[in-house]
Amino acid sequence: MSSAVPPVTPAPRPSARLLWLAVAALLALHYALAVGSKLRESTTSDELVHLTGGYTFDHLRDYRLHPENGILPQRLAALPAVLGGAKFPPLDHNEYWRTSDAWVIGHEFFYETGEDHFPRLMAGRALIALFSVATGLLVFLWSRQLFGDAGALVSLIFFVFEPSFLAHGALATSDVCAAFFLLASVGAWWRHLHDGRARWWWLSATAFALACVAKYSAPLLLPMFVLLALVRAVAAEPLTLLGRAWTTRGGKFGAAALSALGHGAVAALVIWVFFGFRFSAANPALPPFEHFIRPWEWLDANLGTPGRILRAVAAAHLLPEGYLYGFAYVLETAQIRAAFLNGEFSNTGWPGFFVWAFALKSTLPLLLASAAAFAVLVRRSRAEWYRFTPLAVLFVVYWAFSITSHLNIGHRHILPIYPVLFIATGALGPWLAAWRKGPALVVAALLGWHAAESLSVAPHFLAYFNELAGGPENGHRHLVDSSLDWGQDLPGLKSWLDANAQPGEPVYLSYFGTGEPDYYEIRARRLMFVNGFKLPAPPLAQLEPGVYCISATMLEQVYSPVRGPWTLAFEQEFQAARSVERELVEFAGNPQKRAELERDAPKEKWESAAQRYEWLRLARLCHYLRVRGPDANVGYSIFIYRLGADELHAATAGSLQDWSGLIERAVNQRGR
């Protein structure tokens, strides 16, 4: 036995201890702010299907529900529900199970089993928030490698207080998980191209594989890998891969290509693992499967060549059916999707959508710090820029994809570019470390301003808009849906009504989201909703003076069949429908009268006419309310209006002259 004394690891320097204590405290603060802000938020639209799908993946070993948004975060978020023995809706004779309708099954799972969904939702949120913390840690480590301790702290502080990461970091969705794995995969691949040891190959391959099950944005890593391999091939240093040193450009690129094929094999294995090594999406031991929510044939008709390729891969059983269907679903639904930007509407989006979203939803100090960092970086040497290459490639490729995307439904889709900005701001760290009076004060002021911007809107981080947008109270004029109004503020609405609504005062609600007002004991007459549950439309409401609660997405009528400017054609259609309003109300609420009316026209025609009239009436009302302005708001996403008899009549039942006069008076009052 050797008598040698094992070496003693030196204790960390006090400065190192303080640094890591500061990092731990900042990341803990980020976690507390993100998770704490969700304690008073109802389920956001997509969380319902993420958690429901994840439960069926974990517990039922079935992959028919919602495979299109990343199986890894869904399975993780659903673990508390599975471990807690959550009750799932009956599957026998359930038509929505047969047709894979995750939205209706999700409503049943959350609100119709007799169990409280909120504790398991919060537990899922708390687990997903770990990905946000991991992103912050990766930002710190990468910035420290490039810019030292001071730069790393600057980067970390910008991350910790970024409103968008605080908004989405603790939601049971896939956006932050995808942002983490995109950043980690690009970094690991670049490190692997410079260090031929097996550990880095396995780390890179694993990061890429997990990115593939985090979200379907993972294929964007392929052009990033190619560009980074080209840059590495041009560099003078030899590339050590596959047990040998490659010196020619062709040899280096070829070795990287072979390594990438190995990455693909690992990714395929991980995908099969997550789908239980079964090709079929449906578990044959469960009640039968008729088709996905959009049948394969529907996707085939709309996807062209990409669809034929995916079907060929499915026919060969190269990857699980659920994974391939999810990919096809994402491609098909991204082609045409209703979108809203700065008061305009589109079905195919705008090249400038994400540019606007970035400009309006980022804090001004982050934008200024990023510009200053770029000014610093452009003066750095080529060798220093070379180290920044993977971040630049991630930023450029992701932006190129975003600008050409037709899926313009939320600022959250560009979250992966923000870590690049956070890391880049680390270039300002030396100013802070040197404590030169002017530059140091500027950096400290930017950090303080950034934190103050975020905390000023807490806990409503999703509603953050900067001064260019006019602040959060004007955000709905620019962006809605998951950029502002994702259905999160039902608890706040309940509190407002309890404090402000008069006993017996009529309350009306038009809500966008998957939350259930009844769960929060919100006693409101329902106007038209957008929720995708395929539940019966609310009966035609007879409008009375009272409190009208309209969520931002409904106020802007983004997903309404009656959207855009109120035209003369809409007005004529509305007046024609209003002339039979009494019959429509009686059809909805008087069984005896309904039988008489069905002798004149079939039931379906009366129901269709009633729904169309509801949409027309709501659109006419919302057009006026957008001009009038709210009396109050809840979380900047639900707007409250107290409407008197004359005002309500002119907005929803008056003539065109009554309605236009009302709008003119509202314009004059707002101009005073």
Residue 584 has what pLDDT? Answer: 85
- What digits encode the pLDDT tens for the residues 574-619? 999 999 888 888 887 778 888 888 888 888 888 888 889 999 999 9
Decide: residue 148, CB within 10 A, 0-12 exposed, 13-18 middle, 19+ buried: middle
For residue 646, the Cα-to-chain-centroid distance in whole angstroms is 41
- What digits encode the pLDDT tens for the residues 111-163? 999 999 999 999 999 999 999 999 999 999 999 999 999 999 999 999 999 99
pLDDT above 60 for 376: yes
Q: Are 550 and 638 contacting, i.e. CB atoms less than 8 angstroms apart?
A: yes
Residue 540 has what pLDDT? Answer: 77
* pTM for the whole structure: 0.94
Please state, in angstroms and rounded to a whole number, the distance separating the CA atoms of residues 79 and 116: 16
Residue 13 has what pLDDT? Answer: 54
Residue 300 has what pLDDT? Answer: 86
pLDDT above 90 for 653: yes
- What digits encode the pLDDT tens for the residues 402-436? 999 998 999 999 999 999 999 999 999 988 876 66
Count of positions (residues) in the chain: 672
Q: Which helix (H) or strand (E) holds 643?
A: strand 638-643
Please state, in angstroms and rounded to a whole number, the distance separating the CA atoms of residues 335 and 628: 35
pLDDT above 90 for 400: yes
Strands 507-510 and 546-551: parallel
Please state, in angstroms and rounded to a whole number, the distance separating the CA atoms of residues 21 and 39: 27
Q: Which helix (H) or strand (E) holds 508?
A: strand 507-510
Decide: residue 199, CB within 10 A, 0-12 exposed, 13-18 middle, 19+ buried: exposed
Decide: residue 69, CB within 10 A, 0-12 exposed, 13-18 middle, 19+ buried: buried
Cα-atom radius of gyration of the chain, to the nearest Å? 27
